[in-house]
Structure 1
Amino acid sequence: MKKFFITALSILLIFLIASATYIYILLDQIENNSEDNSLVDSLDSSNSSNSSNPPKKLTPEDLGISETAPKASETGVTNILLFGLDSRTENHISRSDTIIITTIDKKNQVIKLTSLMRDMYVPIPGRNKNRINTAYIFGGPTLAIKTVNTNFDLDIRYYVTVDFFGLERIIDQVGGITIDVKKQEIPHINSCIAELNSLNKNTKPVPLLTEPGLQTLNGRQAVAYARIRNVGNADFERTERQRRVLVELFKKVKTLNPLKLPGLVSTILPYVETNLPKTEILSLGISVLGFKDKDIIQYRIPVDGTFTSQRINGMAVLVPDIEKNKALLHDFIYGDDTNSEVAGNDDINARQ
């Protein structure tokens, strides 16, 4: 019997090592941005080893990281910018209509999501003030990261970008996600599904929703849900929906059989662009899977009462009090209050 257990344990260890090696190899499938993959000392050197003209190594100054920005090495907090592109064709660069700071706090073992409103009117380095979502189309993820860092004094070096098409496929790969759909949301979701059906001419049209309530949405239906803004509290409520989709996606991944993870990684990585080194992805992934029974805490910038709605150069924009929002954002990201949850309520007063 003892020999049996030793043999079984050996087989298990071999499988785990093999799975980790397999996933590590699969990470090469990620579409790495050749310039932004060189972020300071986070570069995985293997990504540029075959290039005769290695990409320029970006400095903290290139990314707008100040000396006062809290450092991940000191706080135990890693911030990653998640960009969702509003592109109508695959692999086409566009504005980042979804901008979310994903915070992985190893010290408190918690994940936090902070939406940055796309219409926030801020200084964009090297350009005039504009909506924050234009930084991506002006200068790709490098300028978008620099814009967030300089305005909110953060030390963000990593990003992940996905478009409608990629997110749809990722959600389908986990078997869909559970969303409580409101009756008034259905016509708007269906309108968006119809648009996505027309854009995806090479795939079978996805059925429209017929009833409200708790239900499993497939990838295209979930993307449509995350995109709608003409119902409820406009773009403020849309950011809630976007975070809700990410939270439900994360929950679904955590329930999957570990034996299926390598296959899942193999399928979804081609639809993701990132500058995260393979070693960092593995490290963060292992840390996150070890966060037991913790809710994902949510937030939104600018916070209610810290901005004004204005029309500038013909654009409807949100003009934030940068200093107030910077202080509140730092308190949320680096604070140890892990029992608060803002999910479903974007008002800062819900946490006070």
Structure 2
Amino acid sequence: MNYREFKRRRKKSVFRRVVLIIVLAIIGLLIAGGLYVYSLLDKVQENPLDLTPEDLGISELAPLESDTGVINILLFGVDARSLNESSRSDTIMIASIDTKNNAVKLTSLMRDMYVEIPGKGKNRINAAYALGGPALAIKTVNTNFDMDITRYATVNFYSLEKIIDQLGGITIDVKQNEIGPLNSCINELNRLDPSGKVAHVTSAGPQTLNGRQAVAYSRIRKVGRDDFQRTERQRTVMNEMFKKAKSVGVFKLPALAEAILPNVETNITKSEMLSLAVTAVQNGGNEIEQFRLPVDGTYQNQSINGMAVLVPDMEENKRLLHEFIYGE
């Protein structure tokens, strides 16, 4: 072998070693990052619900996860300063991961929907969380809509802005008539937490909103059809967060996890949480399919005991919910 050939092979060998070292370093970082994220799961406020299906209101008529391949999780957003503070659930959603049809679906339950709360009589559905915590709220949804939900997650409303900021903001198409109410909500949030004051939104159209601006957007109520469009805005924010989270680089995941996990209370175990996250990403595509209860034309506006409520046709809404989630 001549010197030139020796030098060429030596360069090739050095190059391969460098590539190998870089690959090993990346794998090491991913493993370390994964272990770090897993360790962060210890910060989640675990609340195991040691309850039977009967305790959670799951009837024999409820479609079973083992048969349908659909994983349902009840999501609550509480309008409280801390997860331990007693509060009505300001936001109630059913997140459905359809493993057979590769879809992620989100159903908003209007908080003013007038339903039977087991053991407590009829009331707005969002009262169940304040009256009996997540267990009673899950039982209320299962009993009224023949669902098989056992898992839940509660997120403090005020923590959402931290999560969205870690994502680098989200894109929202702000309408002209939403700007005034949006800025009023920003003012309210700025008064509650002066340390994180943010600027007003000054123009309409698609734009990147930071965490506080996006939370304010999701709280707008006095525009359009009041709470109906409010729940639509909340689903829009969730959908944009989901899309943004899927595009986040792997090295940003630990910071994102650190922003999210300490602000979550759930009965989902650490290993299952990781498994569900992977399943949701694999099955979710780029868009979350959205739905809302009660469906237009299936309820009446009434005043009961001084409360403005939505009285739904339960059988019809139950049928439409099952059709959306399970394709029945």
Q: TM-score of the superposition, structure 1-length normalised?
A: 0.84
Tell me how many residue pairs correspond in the alignment.
Answer: 313
**CA distance in structure 2 between the aligned counterparts of 1:204 and 1:295, rounded to whole angstroms:** 31
**CA distance in structure 2 between the aligned counterparts of 1:194 and 1:17, rounded to whole angstroms:** 43
2:104 aligned with 1:111, yes or no?
Answer: yes
Percent identity at matched positions?
59
Deviation of 1:11 after TM superposition, in Å, equals 4.8
Which amino acid counterpart does residue 109 of structure 2 have in structure 1? L
Partner of 1:19: 33
Partner of 1:225: 217
2:97 alignment partner, SS class: strand
**CA distance in structure 2 between the aligned counterparts of 1:25 and 1:293, rounded to whole angstroms:** 28
**CA distance in structure 2 between the aligned counterparts of 1:162 and 1:222, rounded to whole angstroms:** 15
Find the partner of 1:177 among 170, 175, 189.
170
> How do 1:272-283 and structure 2 match up within 5 A?
272-283=264-275
Which amino acid counterpart does residue 182 of structure 2 have in structure 1? I
Find the partner of 1:319 among 303, 311, 323.
311
Q: Assess, with a 3 A threshold, how the Cα gap between structure 1 residues 263 and 65 changes in structure 2: closer, same or farther.
A: same
Deviation of 1:174 after TM superposition, in Å, equals 0.9
Provide Cα deviations, 1:22-67, integer angstroms capped at 9, x if missing partner. Answer: 222211110122xxx13xxxxxxxxxxxxxxxxxx21111111112
Which amino acid counterpart does residue 129 of structure 2 have in structure 1? Y
Deviation of 1:272 after TM superposition, in Å, equals 1.4
**CA distance in structure 2 between the aligned counterparts of 1:238 and 1:292, rounded to whole angstroms:** 24
Deviation of 1:310 after TM superposition, in Å, equals 0.8
Find the partner of 2:56 among 54, 63, 76.
63
2:324 aligned with 1:329, yes or no?
Answer: no
**CA distance in structure 1 between the aligned counterparts of 2:100 and 2:256, rounded to whole angstroms:** 28
Deviation of 1:17 after TM superposition, in Å, equals 3.5
Partner of 1:296: 288
Which amino acid counterpart does residue 307 of structure 2 have in structure 1? M
Deviation of 1:90 after TM superposition, in Å, equals 3.4
Which amino acid counterpart does residue 291 of structure 1 have in structure 2? N
Which amino acid counterpart does residue 153 of structure 1 have in structure 2? D
Deviation of 1:10 after TM superposition, in Å, equals 5.0
1:155 alignment partner, SS class: coil
**CA distance in structure 2 between the aligned counterparts of 1:7 and 1:163, rounded to whole angstroms:** 43
Shifted more, 152-161 versus 239-248: the winner is 152-161
2:73 aligned with 1:80, yes or no?
Answer: yes
Structure 1 or 2: more helix by fraction: 2
1:110/1:294 contact within 8 Å kept: no
Provide Cα deviations, 1:70-115, integer angstroms capped at 9, x if missing partner. Answer: 111221111111111122x334221112111011111111110000
> Could you list the runs of 5+ residues in structure 1 that have no partner in the other structure?
39-56, 337-352
**CA distance in structure 2 between the aligned counterparts of 1:93 and 1:198, rounded to whole angstroms:** 22
Which amino acid counterpart does residue 176 of structure 1 have in structure 2? G
> Could you list the runs of 5+ residues in structure 2 that have no partner in the other structure?
1-11
- Across the aligned residues of Structure 1 and Structure 2, the Cα RMSD in angstroms comes to 1.8
Which amino acid counterpart does residue 33 of structure 2 have in structure 1? S
**CA distance in structure 2 between the aligned counterparts of 1:70 and 1:22, rounded to whole angstroms:** 37
Partner of 1:151: 144
Which amino acid counterpart does residue 279 of structure 1 have in structure 2? S
**CA distance in structure 2 between the aligned counterparts of 1:216 and 1:67, rounded to whole angstroms:** 46
Find the partner of 2:278 among 275, 282, 286.
286
> How do 1:11-50 and structure 2 match up within 5 A?
11-33=25-47, 37-38=48-49
